[in-house]
């Protein structure tokens, strides 16, 4: 697979991948420790009769020192880093990254012991041992490309330097011709190992990138699955709540109709009750349609300048009779001004707020006011109703939520303020609430200019949620 087939990794992904590459390298080092000791014993056994005991002992001490250093690094890694995060792994590796070139230097110096100083058979075994060690290093260190290259380059350059000294300085280029073939083979083998190590590194990196993206995908699918399950639960609760709430007005309509059929002379008493029951059913269906449009993202936006004063006067015509029928005062204090918004949705928001105020106010009245502030035009809806305790002030914007013990909640469906919250989020109109139980409430709607593109994006977002009031 070519690297171009996947998009470039993000910073967080690249950071995680680098940490996993370090983990992969460190997992190979315990095996490399034992292998180096075994190969050291092989070299000693092969060169025992060919090399001065002092030189051989010096090299063995050097190799044991490198092995002890590796053992100390592994111990510290296991004790302090193995269970830590990516940052700790990267910091640890940066601190000890020079160990591997130092180890390669110790092995490269081995060439001093056998090149043109032992029999051809022994040289062959030693070269084969060195080649095997280099191939194993290319594989075990390939997760860190710079480290792998540093190891192989150091070993190859050290061996070539030893050979150049022997051939040029000591033998003055008068040595056997196979020396030159050995140099050529070493150069070719060196480049082949570098290329193979790079291919292995790209494979390791690609595997970790795929692992990261798969884990992200699984996490995303898990979230989406949970969201779908939550949506099903919400819909089930909605159907149960709607069925319960619609039962009473529909049942009442049936009773009034039967009553009217048997006693038509009571039409003047029964007609208002039939009208009220019909309004209750219509209110539920209006809420259902609003909710369906919000959840499907099919709210049509028509952003334009809205005459707020005219909008409030139209709402006054609709809600003043309801107030007066309950014996409440309905007051308007309107300042001229326009807002960049959707006129239908804005009217729906303010209308729901006024309807809510009328529903939960038993004495006193409702005040609707518009005023110009430093931030822009604002609409306030005041009432002298039951008020909302602080513990419920965020919850009232949840779907189907009804404040316990509030008079009038049995006639509602818990959707009005939820829809208000969703619509204000779509239009970008911040909504705040202040309330005192037993004294009343005020909702303040700040009519910041609606950006059509941003509003459309929020509308289409399946995760769009209502914006809770800021306190």
**Strands lying side by side in the sheet with 440-446:** 329-333, 365-372, 377-383, 440-446, 431-436
pLDDT at 194: 92
pLDDT at 401: 55
Average pLDDT over residues 388-393: 69
The rounded percent of the chain whose pLDDT value lies above 90 is: 23
What is d(CA 25, CA 19) in angstroms, rounded to the nearest whole number? Answer: 10
- Confirm if 380 and 335 have CB atoms less than 8 A apart: no
Q: Is the pLDDT of residue 469 over 50?
A: no
H-assigned helices in 28-119: 29-47, 53-80, 86-96, 99-108, 111-114
- Confirm if 353 and 435 have CB atoms less than 8 A apart: no
Q: Is the pLDDT of residue 2 over 50?
A: no
Question: Nearest 5°: phi and psi at 367?
Answer: -120, 130
What is d(CA 187, CA 163) in angstroms, rounded to the nearest whole number? Answer: 12
Q: CA dihedral defined by 386, 392, 395, 399, rounded to 10 degrees?
A: -40
Of 387 and 3, which is predicted with more confidence?
A: 387
- Side-chain-side CA neighbours of 322 within 13 Å: the count stands at 17
Q: Note the pLDDT tens digit of each residue in 403-434.
A: 555 444 344 455 667 778 878 888 889 988 88
H-assigned helices in 83-177: 86-96, 99-108, 111-114, 120-140, 145-164
CATH 3.30.565.10 fits 304-460, yes or no: yes
- Confirm if 243 and 278 have CB atoms less than 8 A apart: no
- Confirm if 400 and 418 have CB atoms less than 8 A apart: yes
Q: Note the pLDDT tens digit of each residue in 28-76.
A: 888 888 888 898 899 888 888 888 888 989 999 998 999 899 899 999 9
- Confirm if 24 and 143 have CB atoms less than 8 A apart: yes
Question: Nearest 5°: phi and psi at 220?
Answer: -65, -45
- Confirm if 77 and 85 have CB atoms less than 8 A apart: no
Q: Note the pLDDT tens digit of each residue in 134-172.
A: 998 888 888 888 999 999 999 999 999 999 998 988 888
289-294: long-range contacts (C-beta < 8 A, 24 or more apart)? 290/348, 290/415, 290/419, 291/238, 291/399, 291/415, 291/418, 291/419, 294/419, 294/422, 294/423, 294/464
Residue 321: both structure tokens together: 């009779």
Residues 6 or more apart whose Cβ sits within 8 Å of residue 469: 393, 394, 397, 431, 432, 433
Q: Is the pLDDT of residue 290 over 60?
A: no
Predicted TM-score (pTM) of the model is 0.52
Residue 427: both structure tokens together: 């239009």
- Confirm if 100 and 77 have CB atoms less than 8 A apart: no
Average pLDDT over residues 245-274: 69
Q: Is the pLDDT of residue 379 over 90?
A: yes
Nearest to 69 by CA among 41, 29, 109, 40: 29
Of 9 and 273, which is predicted with more confidence?
A: 273
What is d(CA 229, CA 186) in angstroms, rounded to the nearest whole number? Answer: 64
Residue 94: both structure tokens together: 């940066």
- Confirm if 147 and 141 have CB atoms less than 8 A apart: yes
The secondary structure element, H or E, covering residue 433 is: strand 431-436
β-bridge partners, 431: 445
Average pLDDT over residues 241-251: 58
């Amino acid at each position: 697979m070519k690297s171009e087939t996947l998009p470039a990794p993000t910073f967080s992904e690249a950071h995680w991948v680098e940490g996993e590459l370090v983990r992969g390298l460190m997992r190979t080092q315990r095996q490399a420790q034992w292998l180096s000791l075994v190969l050291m014993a092989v070299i000693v056994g092969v060169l025992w009769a060919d090399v001065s005991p002092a030189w051989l002992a010096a090299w063995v001490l050097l190799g044991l020192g490198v092995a002890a250093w590796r053992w100390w690094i592994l111990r510290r890694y296991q004790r302090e880093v193995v269970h830590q995060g990516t940052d700790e792994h990267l910091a640890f590796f940066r601190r000890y990254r020079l160990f591997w070139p130092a180890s390669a230097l110790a092995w490269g110096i081995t060439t001093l012991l056998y090149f043109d100083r032992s029999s051809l058979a022994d040289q062959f075994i030693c070269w084969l041992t060195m080649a095997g060690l280099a191939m194993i290093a290319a594989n075990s260190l390939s997760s860190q490309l710079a480290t792998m290259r540093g190891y192989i380059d150091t070993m190859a350059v050290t061996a070539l330097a030893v050979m150049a000294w022997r051939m040029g300085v000591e033998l003055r280029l008068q040595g056997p011709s196979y020396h030159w073939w050995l140099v050529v083979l070493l150069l070719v083998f060196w480049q082949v190992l570098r290329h193979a190590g790079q291919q292995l590194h790209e494979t390791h990196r690609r595997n970790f990138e795929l692992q990261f993206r798969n884990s992200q995908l699984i996490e995303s699918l898990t979230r989406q699955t949970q969201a779908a399950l939550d949506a099903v639960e919400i819909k089930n609760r909605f159907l149960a709540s709607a069925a319960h709430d619609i039962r009473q007005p529909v049942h009442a309509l049936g009773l009034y109709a039967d009553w009217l059929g048997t006693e038509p002379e009571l039409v003047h008493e029964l007609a208002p009750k039939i009208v009220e029951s019909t309004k209750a059913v219509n209110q539920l269906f209006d809420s259902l349609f609003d909710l369906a449009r919000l959840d499907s993202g099919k709210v049509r936006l028509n952003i334009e300048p809205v005459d707020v004063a005219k909008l409030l006067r139209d709402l006054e015509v609709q809600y003043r009779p309801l107030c007066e029928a309950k014996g409440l005062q309905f007051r308007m204090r309107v300042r001229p001004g326009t807002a960049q918004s959707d006129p239908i949705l804005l009217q729906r928001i303010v209308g729901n707020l006024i309807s809510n105020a009328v529903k939960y106010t038993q004495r006193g009245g409702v005040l609707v006011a518009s005023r110009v502030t430093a931030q822009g035009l604002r609409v306030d809806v005041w009432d002298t109703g039951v008020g909302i305790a602080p513990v419920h002030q965020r919850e009232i914007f949840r779907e189907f939520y009804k404040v316990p013990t509030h008079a009038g909640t049995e006639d509602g469906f818990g959707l009005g303020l939820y829809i208000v919250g969703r619509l204000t989020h779509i239009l970008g109109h911040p909504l705040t609430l202040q309330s005192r139980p037993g004294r009343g409430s005020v909702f303040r709607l700040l009519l910041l200019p609606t950006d059509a593109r941003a509003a459309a994006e929020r509308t289409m977002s399946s995760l769009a949620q209502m914006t809770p009031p800021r306190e």
